[in-house]
Amino acid sequence: MVHDLTVIFKKYIEYVIMASATHRDFKNRLYAQFARIGKALSSPHRIELLELLAQGERTVESLAAEVGLPIANVSQHLQALRQAALVETRKQGLHVHYRLADDAVAQLCHSIRTVAERRLADLDRLVREHFAHRDDAEAVSMQQLLKRARTDGDVVILDARPASEYAAGHIAGALSVPVEELRRRLRELPKHKEYVAYCRGPYCVYADEAVKLLLANGRHARRLREGFPEWRSAGFPVASGSEPAPPATTRRARS
């Protein structure tokens, strides 16, 4: 009897050890998969590439020109992102176009930025020094702009990004005026209107430059505190194409 109980107990211990080892192996493999994402994001260049792709799909060549890196280097970074399933591709002629694999990737980039903003004092100092000229009291929040766009016909939303990014997606009702074209297109912008300029995000300077030029030429202008990716992630009205669509009151971005 005692012998039988001893055998049963030993078998039970072996089972527990085996089950624990099997679960430990699962946990190791599980977190290894999670770590693939972290490894893919370990390069600052890759994070910047993802933020650019949050504006719309791009070719390797245009991304390389934007970030100031050789095409071969950018291609390697994109391949690392693709292996981690963060980006997808399509081929058109001789060019390969990259895009974010999912809206969750843009949200991931936003989360990384949020954590860095809250926890890294070095980042805070860097931003304050670089944007010392900014007056955040004059910036417009997304909620304020949404309300004004629906109720105030004198508010004009200006998209200061490149035209290709506007065509890929923009705030519904926004007018595409890339910052490099703004000076020669001032005559299209009546002085009695109020202008809100936006661009890629809070660290993009296109909107700042647009507001500065508009103010210097007798227009009332402010910048949107956030950028287009944040607007789209919030589910606010968006559109695509090269022609502005009227601001919607019920249409929301797809989640």
List per-residue pLDDT tens for the chain, 255 residues long. 655 656 665 666 666 666 667 878 888 899 999 999 999 999 999 999 999 999 999 999 999 999 999 999 999 999 999 999 999 999 999 899 999 999 999 999 999 999 999 999 999 999 999 998 887 768 999 999 999 888 877 899 999 999 999 999 999 999 999 999 999 999 999 999 999 999 999 999 999 999 999 999 999 999 999 999 999 999 999 999 876 655 444 344 433
First to last CA, the chain: 64
Residue 42 phi/psi, 5-degree rounding, is -75, -10
Polymer length in residues for the chain: 255
Residue 198 parent element (H or E): strand 194-198
The verdict on whether 199 is a catalytic residue reads: yes
Beta 155-159 vs 175-176: how paired, if at all? Answer: parallel
Query: Which structural domain range is residue 64 located in?
Result: 44-106
Number of domains present in the structure of the chain: 2
Q: Which of 54, 64, 199, 224 is catalytic?
A: 199
**Residue 8's pLDDT is what?**
65
| pLDDT value of position 166 | 97
Predicted structure pTM score = 0.83
User: Within a domain: residue 29?
Assistant: no
Same domain for 147 and 93: no
Contact 109, 51 (CB under 8 A): yes
User: Alpha carbon of 192 to those of 195, 229, 247: distances in Å?
Assistant: 10, 29, 20
**Residue position matching structure tokens 């949200």:** 107
Which residues are CB-contacts of 198 (< 8 A; sequence separation ≥ 6)? 157, 158, 159, 160, 171, 174, 207, 223, 224, 226, 227, 228, 231
Same structural domain for residues 137 and 233?
A: yes
Q: How far apart are alpha carbons 211 and 87 in whole angstroms?
A: 33
Based on the fold, state whether residues 91 and 188 are members of the same structural domain. no
Q: Angle between the 71-83 and 2-40 helix axes, to the nearest 10 degrees?
A: 150
Angle formed by the axes of helices 60-67 and 71-83, nearest 10°: 110
Helix axes 44-53, 103-119, angle to 10 degrees: 130
Question: Residue 51 belongs to a domain with what CATH number?
Answer: 1.10.10.10
Evaluate whether residue 113 is within a structural domain: no
Is residue 224 within a helix (H) or strand (E), and if so which, with residue range?
none
